[in-house]
Protein backbone atom coordinates (compact mmCIF):
# COMPACT_ATOMS: atom_id res chain seq x y z
CA UNK A 1 0.00 0.00 0.00
CA UNK A 2 -0.85 2.80 -0.81
CA UNK A 3 -3.22 2.21 -3.72
CA UNK A 4 -4.41 5.09 -5.90
CA UNK A 5 -7.25 5.06 -8.41
CA UNK A 6 -7.32 7.69 -11.14
CA UNK A 7 -10.79 8.25 -12.58
CA UNK A 8 -11.10 10.14 -15.84
CA UNK A 9 -13.02 10.44 -19.08
CA UNK A 10 -12.36 7.80 -21.71
CA UNK A 11 -10.07 8.56 -24.61
CA UNK A 12 -6.49 8.58 -23.39
CA UNK A 13 -3.92 6.24 -24.89
CA UNK A 14 -2.40 3.33 -22.99
CA UNK A 15 0.92 5.17 -23.16
CA UNK A 16 -0.55 8.26 -21.45
CA UNK A 17 -2.27 6.18 -18.76
CA UNK A 18 0.96 4.26 -18.07
CA UNK A 19 3.01 7.47 -17.87
CA UNK A 20 0.47 8.99 -15.46
CA UNK A 21 0.45 5.87 -13.26
CA UNK A 22 4.26 5.70 -13.22
CA UNK A 23 4.61 9.35 -12.25
CA UNK A 24 1.96 9.12 -9.54
CA UNK A 25 3.59 5.99 -8.10
CA UNK A 26 7.00 7.64 -8.07
CA UNK A 27 5.74 10.82 -6.39
CA UNK A 28 3.67 8.93 -3.82
CA UNK A 29 6.56 6.66 -2.89
CA UNK A 30 8.90 9.62 -2.47
CA UNK A 31 6.47 11.81 -0.52
CA UNK A 32 5.04 9.06 1.69
CA UNK A 33 8.45 7.51 2.34
CA UNK A 34 7.70 4.03 1.06
CA UNK A 35 9.21 1.73 -1.54
CA UNK A 36 7.79 2.18 -5.02
CA UNK A 37 7.08 -1.57 -5.09
CA UNK A 38 4.48 -0.90 -2.38
CA UNK A 39 2.50 1.52 -4.55
CA UNK A 40 -0.22 0.46 -6.97
CA UNK A 41 -2.16 2.69 -9.36
CA UNK A 42 -5.25 1.92 -11.40
CA UNK A 43 -6.93 4.02 -14.09
CA UNK A 44 -10.70 3.79 -14.45
CA UNK A 45 -12.30 5.48 -17.43
CA UNK A 46 -15.84 6.81 -17.77
CA UNK A 47 -17.98 8.23 -20.54
CA UNK A 48 -18.74 11.93 -19.94
CA UNK A 49 -22.40 11.20 -19.19
CA UNK A 50 -21.37 8.60 -16.58
CA UNK A 51 -19.20 11.01 -14.56
CA UNK A 52 -21.88 12.71 -12.48
CA UNK A 53 -23.87 9.62 -11.44
CA UNK A 54 -20.96 7.21 -11.06
CA UNK A 55 -18.18 9.45 -9.71
CA UNK A 56 -19.36 12.91 -8.62
CA UNK A 57 -22.55 11.83 -6.85
CA UNK A 58 -21.07 8.73 -5.21
CA UNK A 59 -17.45 9.65 -4.42
CA UNK A 60 -16.66 13.33 -4.79
CA UNK A 61 -19.66 15.23 -3.40
CA UNK A 62 -20.21 13.01 -0.33
CA UNK A 63 -16.49 13.18 0.56
CA UNK A 64 -15.95 16.91 -0.06
CA UNK A 65 -15.01 17.57 3.58
CA UNK A 66 -12.23 14.97 3.50
CA UNK A 67 -10.73 15.85 0.09
CA UNK A 68 -7.22 17.29 0.36
CA UNK A 69 -7.47 18.48 -3.24
CA UNK A 70 -10.96 19.68 -4.12
CA UNK A 71 -12.13 19.97 -7.74
CA UNK A 72 -12.40 23.40 -9.29
CA UNK A 73 -15.75 22.53 -10.87
CA UNK A 74 -19.16 21.34 -9.75
CA UNK A 75 -21.79 19.11 -11.25
Averaged pLDDT of the chain: 97
> Catalytic residue numbers?
2
Q: Is the pTM of this model over 0.95?
A: no
- Report d(CA 63, CA 13) in Å as an integer: 29
Q: Quick count: other Cβ atoms within 10 Å of Cβ 29? A: 16
Q: What is the pLDDT of residue 66?
A: 97
Q: Is 1 a residue whose pLDDT tops 90?
A: no
**Residues 12-44 pLDDT 10s:** 999 999 999 999 999 999 999 999 999 999 999
- Domain borders along the chain are 3-66
b/e per residue 37-67 (b: at least 16 CB within 10 A): eebebebeeeeeeebeeebbeeebeeeeeee
Topology, domain 3-66: Macrophage Migration Inhibitory Factor (3.30.429)
Q: What is the mean pLDDT of residues 48-69?
A: 98
Amino acid sequence: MPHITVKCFKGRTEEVKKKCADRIASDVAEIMGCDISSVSVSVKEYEKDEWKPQVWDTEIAPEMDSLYKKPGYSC
